[in-house]
Amino acid sequence: MKVDALFISDVHLGSKGSNAEEVLNVLKYYQPEYLFLVGDIIDGWLLKRKFRWPQSHTNVLRKILSYSKSGTRVIYIPGNHDEFLREYGEFSFGNVEIHNEYIWKQTFITHGDLYDGVVKLKWLGVLGSIGYDMAISIDRQLKKMGMKRSLSKFLKNKVKEAVKFITQFEVELVRQAKKHHCKNVMCGHIHHPDDRMVDGVRYLNTGDWIENNSYIIYKNDEFISKRYSDHSHSK
């Protein structure tokens, strides 16, 4: 399917919980003019601790590179888990453009971690990442036992509630959008897909590929939030 743009974030390649095969199906299904990788595509934090890289994760990167060679403009905006790429900000790498932040069609695009008070305390973020990865492993065992509860989602929601008074994540991102004279803000980071108006600005969050398997497309002058489960992604 041809679209003007495809927005994906928080794939966390290199982690046990990454649904890389589903991501690959989405990448194969769409033919975007722009592909925006809105951060945490690669989980550098976990790779430093324990290297894990299945073939399916390599396939995702290969597909992204094939996009860039076939005319799709690929914009990579690093997040906190792939922050090592920020050293190459405003740089092209193998036809993939790296930008710390980007403005497109009056939309301020950022991963979001730069405006999150929790991630600014990096040691807390690293501990949270390790704990979250353990929770994902527990979830997989619970699913094998037929249980539908998600420990990782529960922990993520509880942490978000606990630090809400510190971060004010959505409010701060809307403020940044206004600062850049944008009507919309696009982000990822908190693994919570969303699309709503906040103080006169459209707040769009791509979600993640650990639990929500969510993304956003832009077609016919409209942003559309999607989930992998919405429909078949076969050609």
How many CA atoms within 13 Å lie on the side-chain side of 125? Answer: 18
pLDDT of residue 162: 45
Where is average pLDDT lowest: 92-101, 133-142, 224-233? 133-142
CB neighbours of 144 closer than 8 A, spacing ≥ 6?
Answer: none
Residue pLDDT, tens place only, 56-82? 999 999 999 999 889 999 999 999 999
Query: What does the pLDDT look like over 165-204, one tens digit per residue?
Result: 334 788 889 999 999 999 999 999 988 899 999 999 999 9
Residue-averaged pLDDT of the chain: 84
Assigned token pair, 127: 């501990």
Cβ contacts of residue 200 below 8 Å, gap of 6+? none
- Residue 157 CB partners (closer than 8 Å, separation 6+): none
pLDDT band at 101 (very low <50, low <70, confident <90, very high): very high
Query: Can you tell me the distance from the alpha carbon of 68 to that of 34, in angstroms, rounded to the nearest whole number?
Result: 9
Domains defined along the chain, listed by start? 2-230 (3.60.21.10)
Cα separations (Å) of 31 from 42, 86, 225, 226? Answer: 22, 27, 17, 16
Closest CA to 80 of 60, 62, 100: 100
